Amino acid sequence: MRPSGRDLSAMRQISIEVGVTKYAEGSCLIKCGETHVLCTASVDEKVPPFLRNTGLGWVTAEYGMLPRATHTRMRREAKNGQSGRTQEIQRLIGRSLRAGVDRVALGERQIVVDCDVIQADGGTRCASVTGGWVALRLAVNSLMKAGDVISDPITDHVAAVSCGIYAGQSVLDLDYLEDSDAGTDANFVMTGQGGLIEVQGSAEGATFSRAQLDQLIDLAEAGVKELVSAQKVAVGA
């Protein structure tokens, strides 16, 4: 019934390859089916002005898409500035990752997580959160190994998945074709313990009911569990 042929509750194949760039303190290439995102985490010993001399750290994210990550080429944002959609997504990624970080333990430094979409087939913001966490985890590992950070500031896994109502049915992990046609599109960011960090549900055509929202959360909980398992394998935990 789904264009992808998957069961209603079936995730796409997940693959997380770490250490894909030579310079970043943490990095991975996450593939959720045909959606591929390169995530790097860069440690910066300087924090933004509003945190100077507070002893608190910061985690922020930036998001981009290569122009031909999509079916038809998009205009390059370096020439036109970041769209509202891009800004909205990178704010979500940063907020989500900070929810799993103890900023006192991190110390007064900043980690910038860059999520660049190499190929897009739906769910790029969710893949960015999930892969961004892996890059962040690895960067923090390197800080701890170097003795720059003593107590682990990472409090839990953070991962995200999209769900939606497609042809009247609640389905997990929408790809582009499904997403374009979904009546409701929802993104869920959760911790490894199952706590909710972000819930963003949007009716595209018809509204959705509380019962449907419940089904979507059920699916998301299962999906995030799989993602967290993949994160564990990737970071060797």
Q: Does 236 bind a second copy (CB under 8 A)?
A: no
Q: Is residue 15 near a second copy by the rule CB under 8 A? A: no
Query: Which residues are registered as beta bridge partners of 215?
Result: none
CA-CA distance, 26 to 20, in Å (whole number)? 9
Site size toward a second copy (CB under 8 A) is 61
> Is 139 a residue that touches a second copy (CB under 8 A)?
no
Tokens of 156: 């839990």
Q: What CA–CA distance (Å, rounded) separates 32 from 5?
A: 16
Least distance between a second copy and beta carbon 70 (Å):
7
Nearest to 59 by CA among 91, 88, 27, 83: 91
Nearer to a second copy, 7 or 88 (CB): 88
As measured in angstroms, the least distance from the Cβ of 237 to a second copy is 20
Place of tokens 């333990």: 105
Site stretch for a second copy (CB under 8 A), options 4-12, 38-46, 125-133, 140-148: 38-46
- Which is nearer to a second copy, 218 or 226 (by Cβ)? 218
As a whole number of angstroms, the distance between CA 200 and CA 102 comes to 24
Alpha carbon 194 to chain centroid, angstroms: 16
Return the residue matching tokens 């990737």.
Answer: 234
Q: Is 222 in the site for a second copy (CB under 8 A)?
A: no
What is the binding site for a second copy (CB under 8 A)? 21-24, 27, 34, 38, 40, 42, 44, 62, 64, 66-73, 76-79, 81-82, 84-88, 90-91, 95, 99, 112, 114, 116, 118-119, 121, 186, 190-191, 193, 195-203, 206-210, 213, 217
